[in-house]
């Protein structure tokens, strides 16, 4: 068994909503509301949920890119939540991010070589020669060619740009990478290539991924454990098999039944959720999912279900799970 690399306890992030000239706080977007999970070395945790469920916010909180409201983030046994910038800085090189949009996340005025070398310049004392060598190594790792180092991002296709972004994230040999929808913007055949690449890299370098996606098929393929979010709250959390084979939460079940399966003869019970996702500014009372839940009772409208362990390592936030 691998060691736990990252632990998150009861993480909360409220974004204040400001109005008017003097920015009076009028309320809060409860973007992340009481999320806990742990991630082992070399494993992948999949974060799934519909838009606005707080996936990206969790990714940014864990990297300390935005301040949190409450909760604890422990990386390699060290509580990083209370650290200030200079204390946290040396740890940053172990924690990297890959973005969804390979088009906007690369500086168009830098060559690919410069882009990949940038973290080396900031975090190491490597000489120019050493950096160059490292850039070539990294390009090879993501199956690009050395001569690509001299070109600019716009000369590359979407898939190639995503490889460049991955190479940059790998530059400092990180232990942990947040991959925020790394394949959503790519073509189907390219998605498969990048998925394979990420899996290979994980195996070779023992990297842990926080893998954010709204495509459940991809998460099922990639993630050792899965956290299902709805309006910033955890609905279900467990190992891949727990969530995908024995889902206990009605929301997880509905999500799974909504995924289109590329087989015309695949038969299953379809649960079509009614209504829309409520606003996270004013989430429903009680269980946040009750407004769309096909099984909701009066209890669900008033009582907030706690995340309970229904089987070893399998947690569900539902009164009736």
Partner 1 sequence: MEKDNILEIKNLHVTFYTEDGIVRALQGVEYEVKHNETLGVVGESGCGKSVTSLTIMRLLPKPQAKVEEGQILFRDKETGQEINLLELPEEKMRHVRGNRISMIFQEPMTALNPVYTVGDQIMEAILIHNPETTRQEARKKAIEMLKLVGIPAAEKRVDDYPHQMSGGMRQRVMIAMALSTNPDILIADEPTTALDVTIQAQILDLINRLQEQLGMSIILITHNLGVVAQNADRIAVMYLGRIVEYAPVREIFHDPKHPYTQGLLQSVPRLDRGGLKEPLPGISGNLPSPYNPPPGCKFHPRCPYVMDRCREEEPSAVEISPGHTVRCWLHVKGEKSNE
225 binds Mg ion (CB under 5 A): no
Beta bridge partners of 79: 74
* Secondary structure (DSSP) of 284-319: PSSSTTTTT-TT--HHHHHPPPP-EEEETTEEE--T
Burial of 189 (0-12, 13-18, 19+ CB in 10 A): exposed
214 binds partner 1 (CB under 8 A): yes
Task: Report d(CA 280, CA 283) in Å as an integer.
Answer: 5
> Which letter does DSSP use for residue 179 in this model?
E
Q: Which stretch binds Mg ion (CB under 5 A): 10-18, 54-62, 171-179, 214-222?
A: 54-62
- Does 276 help bind partner 1 (rule: CB under 8 A)? yes
Interface positions, 235-264, toward partner 1 (CB under 8 A): 240, 244, 254-264
Does 14 interact with ligand ATP (rule: CB under 6 A)?
no
Token representation of residue 247? 């889902």
Tell me how far apart the alpha carbons of residues 165 and 119 are, in angstroms, rounded to a whole number. Answer: 12
- Count of residues interacting with ligand ATP (CB under 6 A): 13
Is residue 151 at the binding interface for partner 1, with CB under 8 A as the rule? no
**Quick one: which H or E segment has residue 74?**
strand 70-75
Q: Cβ closer to ligand ATP: 42 or 158? A: 158
d(CA 94, CA 91): 6
| 54 or 238: CB nearest ligand ATP | 54
Rounded Cα distance between 130 and 122, Å, is 14
Among 44, 53, 56, 208, binds Mg ion (CB under 5 A): 56
For ligand ATP, which stretch binds (CB under 6 A), given 18-26, 55-63, 70-78, 250-258? Answer: 55-63
Q: In what order do the strands lie in the sheet with 176-180?
A: 95-98, 176-180, 208-212, 44-48, 225-230, 233-239, 314-316, 308-311
Q: Candidates 10-18, 49-57, 88-96, 215-223 — which segment interacts with Mg ion by CB under 5 A?
A: 49-57
Residue 226 binds what, of partner 1, Mg ion, ligand ATP, none (CB under 5 to 8 Å, by partner type)?
A: none
φ and ψ at residue 17, rounded to 5 degrees: -100, 120
Residue 220 sits in the site that holds partner 1 (CB under 8 A): yes
Per-residue x/- track, 138-157, Mg ion (CB under 5 A) = --------------------
CB of 55 to Mg ion, least distance (A): 5
Dihedrals phi, psi of 40, to nearest 5 degrees: -90, 160
234 binds ligand ATP (CB under 6 A): no
Residue 34 interacting with ligand ATP (CB under 6 A): no
Q: Does 54 bind partner 1 (CB under 8 A)?
A: no
Does 101 bind partner 1 (CB under 8 A)? Our answer is: no
Which position's Cβ is nearest Mg ion?
Answer: 56
Pick one of 109, 272, 298, 312: the residue that binds partner 1 (CB under 8 A): 272
With a CB cutoff of 8 Å and minimum separation 6, the contacts of 86 are: none
**Cα(12)–Cα(30) distance, integer angstroms:** 8
Q: Which is nearer to Mg ion, 117 or 222 (CB)?
A: 222
Closest residue by Cα to residue 260 from 321, 305, 217: 217
Q: Choose the one of ligand ATP, partner 1, Mg ion, none that binds residue 259, judging by a C-beta under 5 to 8 angstroms depending on kind.
A: partner 1
Residues within window 57-76 making contact with ligand ATP, judged by CB under 6 A = 57
Site residues (vs partner 1, CB under 8 A): 50-51, 157, 159-160, 187-193, 195-196, 199, 202-203, 214, 216-218, 220-224, 240, 244, 254-266, 270, 272-274, 276-277, 292
């Amino acid at each position: 068994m691998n060691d736990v690399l990252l632990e998150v306890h009861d993480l909360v992030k409220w974004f204040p909503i400001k109005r008017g000239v003097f920015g009076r706080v009028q309320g809060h977007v409860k973007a992340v509301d009481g999320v806990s999970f742990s991630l082992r070395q070399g494993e992948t945790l999949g974060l799934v949920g519909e838009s606005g469920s707080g996936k990206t916010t969790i990714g940014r909180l864990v990297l300390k890119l935005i301040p949190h409201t409450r909760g604890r983030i422990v990386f390699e046994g060290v509580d990083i939540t209370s650290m200030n910038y200079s204390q946290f800085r040396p740890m940053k090189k172990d924690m990297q991010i890959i973005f969804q949009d390979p088009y906007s996340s690369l500086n168009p005025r830098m060559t690919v070589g410069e882009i990949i070398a940038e973290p080396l310049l900031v975090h190491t004392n490597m000489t120019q020669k050493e950096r160059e060598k490292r850039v070539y190594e990294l390009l090879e790792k993501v199956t690009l060619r050395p001569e690509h180092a001299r070109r600019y991002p716009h000369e590359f296709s979407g898939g190639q740009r995503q490889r460049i972004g991955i190479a940059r994230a790998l530059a400092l040999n990180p232990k942990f990478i947040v991959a925020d929808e790394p394949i959503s913007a790519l073509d189907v055949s390219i998605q498969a290539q990048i998925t394979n690449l990420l899996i290979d890299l994980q195996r070779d370098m023992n990297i842990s991924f926080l893998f954010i996606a709204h495509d459940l098929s991809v998460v099922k393929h990639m993630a050792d454990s899965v956290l299902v979010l709805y309006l910033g709250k955890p609905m279900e959390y467990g190992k891949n098999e727990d969530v995908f084979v024995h889902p206990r939460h009605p929301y997880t079940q509905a999500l799974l039944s909504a995924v289109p399966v590329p087989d015309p003869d695949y038969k299953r019970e379809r649960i079509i959720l009614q209504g829309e996702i409520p606003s996270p500014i004013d989430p429903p009372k009680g269980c946040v999912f009750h407004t769309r839940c096909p099984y909701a009772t009066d209890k669900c409208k008033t009582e907030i279900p706690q995340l309970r362990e229904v089987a070893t390592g399998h947690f569900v936030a539902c009164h009736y799970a």
